[in-house]
Amino acid sequence: MLVESPPVSALPFDNLYRHGFVRAAMAVPVLALAHPAANARAAIAELARADAQGAALLLLPELGLTGYSTEDLLLQSAMLEAAEDAIASIAQASRAHRTLLLLGAPLRHGHSVFNCAVAIQRGRILGVVPKSYLPNYREFYEKRQIAPAAAAPADSIRIAGQQAPFGTDLLFAAEDLPDFIAHVEICEDLWAPIPPSTAGALAGATVLCNMSGSPITVGKAEDRRVLCDAQSRRCIAAYLYCAAGAGESTTDLAWDGQLTAFEYGAALGESARFADTVQRIFVDIDVERMVAERRRVGTFRDAAMAHPATFRRIAFRLDAPAGPLPLARAIPRFPYVPDESERLDQDCYETWNIQVTGLLTRLSATGLKKLVIGVSGGLDSTQALIVAARTMDRLGLPRSNIVAVTMPGFATSDGTKSAAWALMRGLGVDAREVDIRPLCTQLLHDLGHPGPPQYDITFENVQAGIRTDYLFRLANHSGGLVVGTGDLSELALGWCTYGVGDHMSHYNVNASLPKTLIQHMIRWAITTAQYGADVCATLETILATEISPELVPPDATGAVQSTQARIGPYELQDFHLYHILRWGFRPSKVAFLALSAWGDATRGAWPRGIDSEARHQYDLPTIKHWLSLFLRRFFETSQFKRSAVPNGPKISSGGSLSPRGDWRAPSDSRPDAWLEELERNTP
């Protein structure tokens, strides 16, 4: 959220409007009660500020030209005439600004006074939207002065020398930003069982605005947040809320000036409350994401078909800033791992229990009493093993019913082997060790492979294949079920061998966990003391170990085989995976988001457990390099592996790659369209 000035960038690529975002401003000026001319000057100042910050929209409070608490003064001709004169002055001043202004004012129309939102841009009064639902209970008596929208005598109004559309059926659509379509409702409209913004969203609006009077009482601020959040989720839209503040009469009420904004359930920003000075916030809204999600969620389309509504689209041209304009909003570096500690705890708790419940149910359904798992001393098998241990606890079975086997090969280090044994002993499982080197040597000989030092794909996969074959035969022999360990990140990048342990099992508890989430799940197991101190100490050791398949011995310098040196940093590739799998974004937009998130290691929050020495940053060439590799592996070379994965529970809305669930794709597609888009639109 931007409060005043956005960060500075020298890259033209770094312009939020190029990537499907729009900047919205909300402000609560200090009100001059019943003085429209003074309030008009304040509105003009806020409009100029919003335009200078690159905002496409500025939302001000309900009846902001006069004040919500003016009561019977709204029936005074002098007040109404002054409000209309103020609108004329604002329209004139707006000629110099691109920003769409949504301003609250009382307007005469026919035999009534209406509580209205007036849309103004570049000198033109685009339209006037009257309030639909007038509260007339407890402290509210709006029907004494105001007529509801249904009483409108005509669908247009003459104001400030212009004829403008009038009604609740107006959408304000930027013709040069087709995904930016605004709808406005007023205060009580949001509290209705079916808010007008619902129809507006079904008709295409992506930014839903509420200008509100809304006097404050204890607990009401949270009620507003909940309603705004829910409406943004239900409508797959952004929802902006602007309440009246300083300057309103406190005869019998008080005002807090709450500004809050949500985008499809994500909080974008909120202002201070009970301020004595003007309050304003700027938020960057991903309107392209809303449109893409509506295409994906068929229920939204079906609802639009079931509840057709005719809206008038009022077109305007924004001519958004063309130069550098970086995002002011924070983009999470770890989209699968929340920054907030409370949310992280909740997500880890749910992930843990989804994994345990999935394995428990599968084991119960088969009637088997034993689990078989290969333990390498790495992250994935560690997470699978501690989940298996808790599953046995839940079933009331001894952990010795888990047959855990570590299978050292040609490149297994003493460190990972020791960690595997320490973990197995600490958990009290049936711990075993099988040296696979004799079998591998024989198989390599039978294949006519010379063995070391020819460290090729055959050399690596012979080891992986023998380990997997042993586990399945051990499961047959012991009457057990093989637990898979491969994770979502490996499956996305094709960093798994077809038919072996990181790909095939009877049931894979890690199937939809990305590597970054597995790391945090292990940290969570430590911080919540899921197991004893000795196990937690081992988990700490495993977290600190280089991610490696350990299939090839260290080189002459002693450097171990590094997974991330081959396929990219998991923290960056998981970022790419999330935005491509969950949202279907264009690669250039993913690169823009990655640069916004990772371009400065000092900016924004980090999830718990990421210490300062592990906080990396990536420049655009690095991001582009690893994203290109991701696109090739994801779209061209790896789908055939994903088409044959075992069962495993879906963990998050971030998606899974099961061919029976989130991702159905051909095994023979080409990545050219994605690579060409990245190259064409990224410097």
610-613 — which CB contacts under 8 Å span 24+ positions?
Answer: none
Q: Tell me the whole-structure pTM to 2 decimals.
A: 0.94
What is the pLDDT, as a whole number, of residue 193?
A: 96
What is the pLDDT, as a whole number, of residue 1?
A: 61
DSSP string covering 594-632: HHHHHS-TTSS---TT--GGG-----HHHHHHHHHHHHH
Residues with Cβ within 8 Å of 306's Cβ and at least 6 positions away in sequence, in order, are: none
Which stretches of the chain score pLDDT less than 70? 1-12
Residues with Cβ within 8 Å of 301's Cβ and at least 6 positions away in sequence, in order, are: 294, 295
Task: Say how far apart CA 325 and CA 208 lie, in whole Å.
Answer: 23
Two structure tokens written together for 98: 């691109």
* Amino acid at the residue 154: A
Task: Say how far apart CA 514 and CA 520 lie, in whole Å.
Answer: 10
What is the pLDDT, as a whole number, of residue 5?
A: 46
Q: What is the pLDDT of residues 224-262, one digit of tens each?
A: 999 999 999 999 999 999 999 999 989 998 899 999 999
User: Between 3.40.50.620, 3.40.1050.10, 1.10.287.70, 3.20.20.150, what CATH number should domain 341-681 receive?
Assistant: 3.40.50.620
What is the pLDDT, as a whole number, of residue 160?
A: 92
Q: What is the pLDDT of residues 93-107, one digit of tens each?
A: 999 999 999 999 999
- Fold of the domain spanning 16-316: Nitrilase/N-carbamoyl-D-aminoacid amidohydrolase (3.60.110)
Query: Hey, which residues are catalytic here?
Result: 62, 131, 187
Task: Say how far apart CA 112 and CA 119 lie, in whole Å.
Answer: 20
Pair type for strands 279-286 and 312-316: unpaired
| Numbers of helices and strands, H then E, in the chain | 20, 20
Place of tokens 């000026």: 29
Q: Where are the domains of the chain?
A: 16-316, 341-681
φ and ψ of 259, to 5 deg:
-115, 125
Q: String of b and e for 159-186 (b: at least 16 CB within 10 Å)?
A: bbeeebbbbbbbbbbbeebebbbbbbbb
